[in-house]
Structure 1
Amino acid sequence: MDTDFINLTPENLVNEHLCCIIRSKKYHPGIDAKRKWLADRLNEGHVFRKLNAKATVFIEYAPLETAWVPIIGDNYYYVYCLWVLGNEKGKGYGRSLMEYCIADAKEKGKSGICMLGAKKQKAWLSDQSFAKKCGFEVVDTTENEYELLALTFNGTTPKFAQNAKKQEIENKELTIYYDMQCPFIYQNIETIEQYCEMHDIPLTLIQVDTLQKAKDLPCVFNNLGIFYKGNFETVNLLDIAGLKRILKK
């Protein structure tokens, strides 16, 4: 197994690829948006570690206190993404990346590590069955079956902020909260916006551009939160077919 990994730094950020986005053959404006977002996060202890190859093999995590999610806890790491795709699957890379995160957390005296999951695996969330094999357990839930998974080192556990369990807003229009943590967000939002404009569908877009806005969100969040008719629908990126299913409700 190739164990040549590299961490993104302020010095190499401009020249290193961002892993998942290399699946796209067309230029993504989301790449620049992601780089800018990362440039502001790396000095906060944010970690983006990847295989030093042209492949989708990486883990991305941050101190929970500065992670853009409505989750609270004492001295935890939060895992945004852990992905191993394509020909690199089955080579132990996922285990190596998780072990690195665990070792890093212990070295820095963290209380543990947490990540967003669901009773039924969501397409844009990291593999929670793998996380459970690594010792993660469900420590909090929402009424719509989202789960908070945690690996605790000292018996303490994080939890969803109370506002994240609200899952309702007053606005009845299609409403999307988003940030630029994921490079696919930019184009996805643009596609939805164009479709809604073409079909006269009212749309409210709310960019989560500060840590406080992320902590105060009325839903679970891993870079996206979609509401319709005032009700929370999903954290998944939507293609047009998925959008149409929501609009039929």
Structure 2
Amino acid sequence: MAFITLTPENVMSEHLCCAIADKKHQTGVNDKRNWLAERIKEGHVFRKLDAQGKVFIEYAPLEKAWVPVTGDNYFYIYCLWVSGSYKGKGYGKELLQSCIDDAKAQGKSGICLLSSKKKKPFLSEKKFMLKYGFKVVDTINDEYELLALSFDGTQPQFTSNVRKQSIEGKELTIYYGVQCPYIPNCIEQIYNYCENNQIPLRLVEIDTLEKAKQLPCIFNNWAVFYNGKFETVHLLNEGLLKKLLLR
């Protein structure tokens, strides 16, 4: 099967494979399209299999990536996802290789991404990336890791603010973007649950590159604090929120 790279001409019509035929996520899909339309102008790449499946890679120049990571002349991979019946067919390898080839063709210094010591949902799998030469170049709390494939020996790193992993407020606080189509529905579920149960909630939309670079924690498009402490980058629905609040 062929791969399709989204462009300003097709971003509003092509199928966004990370939210398939689920009505509750259509608001998120529309938000994602609009966000992508602006980011593509900055060099952001969304490449997917030409199929109705979750098979894609999404990356951007690190200087323009909405994450608190710094480095010169790198690509940052937000997401590399192959799911369901498409697994085991080499699509992940092809997509990653296309990113590596793109980086070399543009004279980049390397590629980096957020991962973790132990496998976590919504993060690229460390084991897979190590096979292709990626190495751990920075860590947070011996849990979250910045992986990089360097072509020239230079290395990116988390910004100094990331190491705080804490904020002053004690209420449930969520930093979020609209890059992921699942986020608006998660926000709706969390807002409704907190409203109905008198749980203090602070929602902070990260709607500029500058805000993203200054965040006090790791962030791919979502970050949760509770009692002033960073908890997770895992998207929360009502069920997962209940478990978090009971800990």
Answer whether TM exceeds 0.5 for this pair. Answer: yes
Residue 45 (structure 1) aligns with:
43
Which of residues 73, 76, 86 is equivalent to 2:74? 76
Residue 31 (structure 2) aligns with:
33
SS of structure 2 residue aligned to 1:19: coil
Please give the root-mean-square deviation of Cα atoms over the aligned residues, in Å. 1.1
Q: Unaligned 5+ residue runs, structure 2? A: none
Residue 226 (structure 1) aligns with:
224
Deviations along 1:176-210, one digit per CA (max 9) or x if unpaired, are: 00001111111111111111111110000000000
Q: Unaligned 5+ residue runs, structure 1? A: none
Q: Alpha-carbon deviation of 1:241?
A: 2.7
Q: Alpha-carbon deviation of 1:120?
A: 1.3
Question: Given that residues 67 and 211 in structure 1 are in contact (C-alpha distance below 8 angstroms), is that contact kept between their aligned partners in structure 2?
Answer: yes
Which of residues 188, 195, 210 is equivalent to 2:208? 210
Question: Given that residues 173 and 226 in structure 2 are in contact (C-alpha distance below 8 angstroms), is that contact kept between their aligned partners in structure 1?
Answer: yes
Amino acid at match of 2:91: Y
Q: Alpha-carbon deviation of 1:47?
A: 0.2
Deviations along 1:155-177, one digit per CA (max 9) or x if unpaired, are: 10000001011100001000000
Which of residues 133, 136, 139 is equivalent to 1:141? 139
Deviations along 1:118-151, one digit per CA (max 9) or x if unpaired, are: 1111111122211111111100001151100000
Q: Alpha-carbon deviation of 1:31?
A: 0.6
SS of structure 1 residue aligned to 2:41: helix
4+ residue runs over 6 A deviation? none
Residue 151 (structure 2) aligns with:
153
Amino acid at match of 2:81: W
Deviations along 1:94-131, one digit per CA (max 9) or x if unpaired, are: 00000000000000000000000111111111222111
Amino acid at match of 2:156: P
Aligned residues: 247
Amino acid at match of 1:57: V
Q: Structure 1 CA distance, aligned partners of 2:129 and 2:207?
A: 29
Which of residues 16, 19, 31 is equivalent to 2:17? 19
Mark the CA change 1:23 to 1:151 in structure 2 (over 3 Å): closer, same or farther.
farther
Mark the CA change 1:210 to 1:24 in structure 2 (over 3 Å): closer, same or farther.
same
Amino acid at match of 1:111: S
Question: Given that residues 25 and 185 in structure 2 are in contact (C-alpha distance below 8 angstroms), is that contact kept between their aligned partners in structure 1?
Answer: no
Amino acid at match of 1:207: E
Residue 185 (structure 2) aligns with:
187
Which of residues 85, 88, 99 is equivalent to 1:87? 85
Question: Given that residues 162 and 215 in structure 2 are in contact (C-alpha distance below 8 angstroms), is that contact kept between their aligned partners in structure 1?
Answer: yes
Q: Structure 2 CA distance, aligned partners of 1:144 and 1:158?
A: 17
SS of structure 2 residue aligned to 1:134: coil
Q: Which segment is superposed worse, 114-123 or 23-32?
A: 23-32
